[in-house]
Amino acid sequence: MNIDVLIAGAGHAGAQAALMLRKLGYAGAVALAGAEADPPYERPPLSKAYLAGEEPFERMMMRPKEAWAELNIDLLPGRKIVSVDPTAHEARCEDGERITYGKMIWAAGGTPRRLPAPGGDLAGIHVIRTRADVDAIRAGLDSAGNIVIIGGGYIGLEAASVLVCMGKRVVVLEAQERLLARVAGPALSAFYEKEHRGRGVDIRLGAKIEAIIEKGGRPAGVRLAGGADLPADLVIAGIGIAPEVEPLIAAGAEEALGGVKVDQFCRTSLPDIYAAGDCAAHANRYAGGAVIRLESVQNAHDQAAVAAASIAGAAKPYDAVPWFWSDQYDLKLQTAGLSSGYDRAVLRGDPDSRSFSVVYLKDGRVIALDCVNATRDYAQGRRLVAAGGACDHETIVDPGAPLFKPAARKG
Ligand SMILES: Cc1cc2nc3c(=O)[nH]c(=O)nc-3n(C[C@H](O)[C@H](O)[C@H](O)COP(=O)(O)OP(=O)(O)OC[C@H]3O[C@@H](n4cnc5c(N)ncnc54)[C@H](O)[C@@H]3O)c2cc1C
């Protein structure tokens, strides 16, 4: 098989790259080779409405199947790329098929990390990354009264909110001393801890897992350091991902943060190979120029657009404001910017009202916002962050005052 642009990974970044190529008028042969059997679908509902059984898979598909054919985008489902020869411009699939390419976009995302504890590799420990993962969880739900979720990040907490609302006894084990410690400030952590506890989720902070308790080859509980045993009919691990980049690194690509390093045009260090999405480590202006990896739909889409534009001859550097969202219960969290490195966090509104924002500043400038049921703050805050973040304290603390006022047009 010979393809002008071969895209490895048919998730958010891969699908978006293919669509952007066509939108930009690129006429060459484009193929989306994805390890999963399904056509490209939205991943966020997996830990939300799809887990809850409220959204059918068909509604999560990014495009109806026929639409890909109409755009002349070749879907190659079930095709995991296992090696790349950058000199020969050739990729090899798990089934042995070889595909030669002109350009390649590596958009293979990541694989959920396994628990680093005895029993952590038992087959029955669930993760949430693909449709198949959630189908497996749902298949065991009827007979599951006790559920232990390991990891108090967004995915673990979204799953907890869905499962406790189904009437399950849910325990969340978090190794850190607060929830969401990697991504948010203490005020937001405290708010979500209170919300979850209020709904009956048993949250254990600073939890150290000694082992997964096994019965008949399946997980039956979790043993905590200190001796406490938690029974579990279902164990779900949400402890992050490892970027899927092994074939590129084996081919000599520069590595960073466990992913593949890309420049501002999403080029890897290998000729004619770009990368986008969760697997792509890049220098980000909103992180003060530090090299980071972002795991968000925004980043996957925007990096994919940059890679596609470079290939289509309309190159522009990556420079998007990071944003993210999370749905738990009736709470919509929307995040703009990156809060890491902040030196001051200011509350805007009252968390008890369940509509408020946490505004993060560095050197007197707003660098990020976490907005809970506060869509207006989010929309204005995103523009404020993009514009450099200058905002006085009185405005920040007054929920009635707009965070961003566009400069009046002259003339
Ligand atoms: C449960 C869940 C909920 C989320 N919720 C949110 C949210 O609310 N908001 C938000 O902004 N983000 C959310 N995210 C994050 C967001 O979905 C990811 O950041 C986004 O999917 C990244 O896109 P990607 O294309 O890099 O990776 P993916 O979408 O994971 O796509 C990668 C694809 O590549 C395939 N693949 C892997 N290896 C290979 C290979 N060697 N060859 C070919 N194909 C391969 C994979 O099977 C996968 O289909 C969520 C993620 C999950 C898992």
Q: How many residues does the chain have?
A: 411
Question: Are both 120 and 233 inside the same structural domain?
Answer: yes
Map residue 203 onto helix, strand or coil: strand
Question: Are both 336 and 254 inside the same structural domain?
Answer: no
Residue 112 has pLDDT above 90, yes or no: yes
Residue 322 lies in a domain: no
The reply to whether ligand 1 has any atom less than 6 angstroms from the CB of 244 is yes
Question: Are both 21 and 49 inside the same structural domain?
Answer: yes
Task: Report CA-CA distances (Å) from 24 to 8, 300, 301, 307.
Answer: 20, 18, 15, 12
Rg (CA), the chain: 22
The reply to whether ligand 1 has any atom less than 6 angstroms from the CB of 7 is no
Question: Are both 211 and 63 inside the same structural domain?
Answer: no
The reply to whether ligand 1 has any atom less than 6 angstroms from the CB of 13 is yes
What is the extent of the structural domain holding 145? 114-237
Nearest CA residue ID for atom 30, ligand 1: 109
Q: What tokens were used for 1?
A: 């098989």
Compute the average pLDDT of residues 256-284. Answer: 98
Domain boundary among 277, 311, 345: 311
> Exposed, middle or buried: residue 127 (CB in 10 Å: 0-12, 13-18, 19+)?
buried
Question: Are both 28 and 167 inside the same structural domain?
Answer: no
pTM flag (> 0.95): yes
Question: Cα–chain-centroid distance for residue 285?
Answer: 19
The reply to whether ligand 1 has any atom less than 6 angstroms from the CB of 326 is yes
Question: Are both 141 and 61 inside the same structural domain?
Answer: no
Question: Are both 151 and 228 inside the same structural domain?
Answer: yes
pLDDT band at 406 (very low <50, low <70, confident <90, very high): confident
Between 154-165 and 186-198, two packed helices, what is the crossing angle to 10 degrees? Answer: 20
Compute the average pLDDT of residues 22-29. Answer: 98
* 11 CA from centroid of ligand 1 (Å): 6
Residue 334 lies in a domain: yes
Atom of ligand 1 nearest to the CA of 111: 37
Q: ∠285-259-174 over CA atoms, to 5°?
A: 90
Question: Are both 280 and 225 inside the same structural domain?
Answer: no
* 173 CA from centroid of ligand 1 (Å): 24
Mean pLDDT, all residues of the chain: 97
Pocket test for ligand 1, best of 127, 133, 154, 297 (most atoms within 8 A of CB): 297
Domain boundary among 237, 259, 276: 237
Domain boundary among 189, 216, 237: 237
The reply to whether ligand 1 has any atom less than 6 angstroms from the CB of 302 is no
Least confident of 89-93, 117-121, 193-197: 117-121
Residue 408 has pLDDT above 70, yes or no: no
Question: Are both 106 and 245 inside the same structural domain?
Answer: yes
The reply to whether ligand 1 has any atom less than 6 angstroms from the CB of 259 is no
Residue 321 lies in a domain: no
Compute the average pLDDT of residues 55-72. Answer: 97
Question: Are both 175 and 136 inside the same structural domain?
Answer: yes
Atom of ligand 1 nearest to the CA of 109: 27
Atom of ligand 1 nearest to the CA of 13: 25
Q: How many domains does the structure of the chain reveal? A: 3
Residue 407 lies in a domain: no
* 248 neighbors 268 (Cβ within 8 angstroms): yes
Question: Are both 272 and 381 inside the same structural domain?
Answer: no
Helices (H), 200-296: 246-250
